[in-house]
Structures are given as structure tokens and as C-alpha cells.
Amino acid sequence: MRRPGEWLGRTLAYLWSGWGAVASLLLFLALWDLGNRLYGSFILPSPLEALGALGELLAHGALQQQLLATLFRALAGFAIAVSFGTLLGSIAGLSMTAAMAARPLVTVLLGVPPIAWIVLALLWFGASDGTPIFTVAITTVPMTFAAAMQGARTLDGDLRRMARAFRAGPWLRFTDVYLPHILSYVFPAWITALGMSWKVVVMAELLSTPDGVGAGLAAARINLDTAQTLAWILAVVGTLLVAEYILLEPIKRHLERWRSDEH
């Protein structure tokens, strides 16, 4: 039904539509540059200086090494949120009682600021990988849990009966009836959770670990190196932008094309 050329065309069209965003980002860089002209490089290094510092970090290999350490921690925490949060949430959603009992718990967990978790994690795990991973997991699990629970709660009984009337087996019912529905609830939550993990992990590292992007930021602060600070920020934001718009957004579009009007 769908030609491969069409897929390629759609991908190119998607990438091309990014020029508008690039234009506004470049205008932001101009504004940043203006700030540099007004306040000088000590307060606000120019975009080129920050990019230069980024290039230096890249040349030393420091950037890749620290980014990898951070990436590992963020993804480990995120993986816990995706697997446990989604699984437990789906199960809780199937039972009215469990859903009722879990809802206030989710509200409480979502209400605790990440910085409070970091302090607790420091007491429990010390300056190890455990602190950032725990902090990421505990702040993102409630998000995926709540979304999966909501998805499971809203499963359509009519569709379930239709599937039974056509004598669909349990596996087909799971893959074709339940899973797409729950995914449509859970996927946006995963994207939010990933963004959250990325921010929380840097914060946790800043306070707890000897390596990672957060530690790099802490070092730049101690050295009063504003250009390097901005370079780290660029690296963090850049990685997230790439992950979100090159990886997750296309997956999301593909999974949810049955909802949009253009496909």
C-alpha cells in the first residue's frame, strides 16, 4: 500500500520543516551575541566562544567521556521508569482497587521536588552512580506509572468484546487491541520522562558525582570559566534536542499516525 519512496519523502519533509526552528535558534544566537557585546566575555561569552570551548572539550575527549557517563545514568533511570512504571501502571489500571489506592501515592511522589530526592539519595548511596540513577528513577516512575494506569483504565470494552466475537487469541488481543491503546497514553509520558531524566541527572551529578556533565559544570563554576559552563549547557541541550527531534518525535508520529489527519 505505501511506497518506500513515500516514506523517504516524508522523512525529508520532516527534516526540512526544521529550518523554521533553526532560523529562530539562529536569531536567539544573535541575541546572545548582542548580550556578549554589551556585557563582555567574562559575564557572557559569545556563541562562538562557547562553541570554541565545546570544540576544545571535544578535542580532549572530555566531552564524550562525561556525556557517556551522564547518558548511562540518565538512561538507566529512564529504563527503570519505562519498564517498572509502565508495567506496574498497566497492572494497576486493570484493577479498580489498585488504581484507587495508587492515585494519591502518585500525587505525593510527583509533588516531591527532585532536589529533595537528591539529598535523600546522597545519604543512601553516597557519591556513586546510585545517587543520580535513583533520583532519575524516583522522579520519572510516577509519570510513566500514571500514564500507563490511565491507559489501562480507559481500555475500550466494546473493542474487547469485538475481539472475542472474532475469536482472537490472547496474544493477538494484547498486540492489536490493548497495546496500541496503552502506548498512545504512555508514549507522550515517556518523552516527558526522558526530558526530565536528562535535567535531573545533571543536577544530581552536580551535587554528588566526580564525573559526568554535572561534575563538568561544577568544575567550570569553580574555575569561573563561563565559556566552558555554556559549552556544557550547549552539549546537554543539544543532546536532548537531537534525541527528541531525530529519534522520539518520528517514532511518535509513526505510532500515532492513525490519530492525525495527514499521514
Q: What is the 3-state secondary structure (H, E, C) of the chain?
A: CCCHHHHHHHHHHHHHCCHHHHHHHHHHHHHHHHHHHHHHHHHCCCHHHHHHHHHHHHHHCHHHHHHHHHHHHHHHHHHHHHHHHHHHHHHHHHCHHHHHHHHHHHHHHHHCCHHHHHHHHHHHHCCCCHHHHHHHHHHHHHHHHHHHHHHHHCCCHHHHHHHHHCCCCHHHHHHHHHHHHHHHHHHHHHHHHHHHHHHHHHHHHHHHCCCCHHHHHHHHHHCCCHHHHHHHHHHHHHHHHHHHHHHHHHHHHHHCCCCCCCC
The nearest distance, CB 176 to other proteins, in angstroms, is 6
The binder of other proteins chosen from 7, 8, 11, 12 (CB under 8 A):
12
Stretch of residues binding other proteins (CB under 8 A), selected from 19-27, 96-104, 116-124, 196-204: 19-27
The binder of other proteins chosen from 103, 253, 254, 263 (CB under 8 A):
263
Number of residues that bind other proteins (CB under 8 A): 43
Nearer to other proteins, 31 or 116 (CB): 31
| Residue 155 contacts other proteins per CB under 8 A | no
Distances (CA, A) of 159 to 86, 163, 184, 220: 22, 6, 16, 57
Site string for other proteins, 168-187 (x = CB under 8 A): xx--x---xx--xx--x---
Restricted to residues 203-242, the positions that interact with other proteins (CB under 8 A) are none
| Residue 158 contacts other proteins per CB under 8 A | yes
The binder of other proteins chosen from 3, 4, 24, 222 (CB under 8 A):
24
Nearer to other proteins, 176 or 249 (CB): 176
The nearest distance, CB 259 to other proteins, in angstroms, is 7
The nearest distance, CB 88 to other proteins, in angstroms, is 24
| Cα separation, 167 vs 155, whole angstroms | 18
Stretch of residues binding other proteins (CB under 8 A), selected from 24-32, 82-90, 94-102, 139-147: 24-32
Contact residues toward other proteins (CB under 8 A) are 1, 9, 12-13, 16-17, 19-20, 22-24, 26-27, 29-30, 33-34, 37, 46-48, 158-159, 161-169, 172, 176-177, 180-181, 184, 257-259, 261, 263
